[in-house]
Amino acid sequence: MSVTTKQLYDAASNDWQRSEPILLSDFTARPFLLKWCEPVAKLNVLDLGCGEGYFARGLKRQGAGSILGIDVSEEMVRGAEQREAQEQLGIRYRAGDATDLTAIASESVDLTVAVFLFNYLTLEQTRHTMHEVHRVLRPGGRFIFAVPHPSLAFLGDKVAPFYFDPQSKGYFSGRDCQFEGEIWRRDGKSVRVRSVHKNLEDYFGALAAAGFTQMPQVAELRATEEHLRMDPTWFGPLRDKPLHLAFQLRK
């Protein structure tokens, strides 16, 4: 039986600790998402699946107000708190399941972010969590999240620097199935990741059912020409492939 997500991240928490870009997605996704979150000044932010706080720290440095990060891995939260003790940004972290937001008051959050959380949740958990995100957002508040691009698992070889293995499953038959994968760090080390596969219909359907009625902004993130110039060997295998899918919604 495969390890739970909590076990996976508890065991690998040291490999996720970072104060500068090191993982592939620190180049291909997080800088874009941090810009997308602007303007963040003084916003009350909820970071679901916050990990060791890399993204939350980025938001705080951009001027965000209060930030609460929630992660199911106690070791990731411990890492976040250790970093907070070293560089006091005033971010609060809590070990807990992002599918349970009952402790958070309705319409109390300006911005909810979830950077590579939903790929760990089943479709049912995703629907429930998006519904809860809608509840806790204030009218006009925003919801920004990113997931692995649903096509990626079916486009490439199982090689560095990023892949998911769909085994024998296809784009439709693999819905709600767990694909194991790896993402590489620039120092040559890889970390295990996984994706409970969901297709575009699943994401758009879950958002609509949650109550998000305005057209979302959608971005398909990739290795850009700038990345390829910076390190052609590392980014080269990903040329022209959709890596991540990002959504921005307004309540």
Distant-in-sequence, close-in-space partners of 111: CB < 8 Å, separation ≥ 6: 37, 40, 43, 44, 45, 46, 64, 141, 142, 143, 144
CB 89 to ligand SAM: min, Å: 15
Site for ligand SAM in 182-201 (CB under 6 A): 193
Q: Would you say 55 or 162 has its CB closer to ligand SAM?
A: 55
Q: Binding segment for ligand SAM among 47-55, 78-86, 200-208, 215-223 (CB under 6 A)?
A: 47-55
Taking CB under 6 A as the rule, does residue 116 contact ligand SAM? yes
Binding-site member from 28, 45, 55, 221 for ligand SAM (CB under 6 A): 55
Neighbours of 103 (CB within 10 A): 10
Nearest to 183 by CA among 232, 116, 228, 121: 116
Which of 34, 91, 98, 249 is close enough to bind ligand SAM by CB under 6 A?
Answer: 98
Give the single-character DSSP code of 41. B
Site string for ligand SAM, 4-23 (x = CB under 6 A): -x---x--------------
The dihedrals phi and psi of 244, each to the nearest 5 degrees, come to -135, 155
CA-CA distance, 95 to 5, in Å (whole number)? 13
**Residues within the interface to ligand SAM (CB under 6 A):** 5, 9, 49-51, 54-55, 70-73, 76, 97-99, 115-117, 120-121, 193
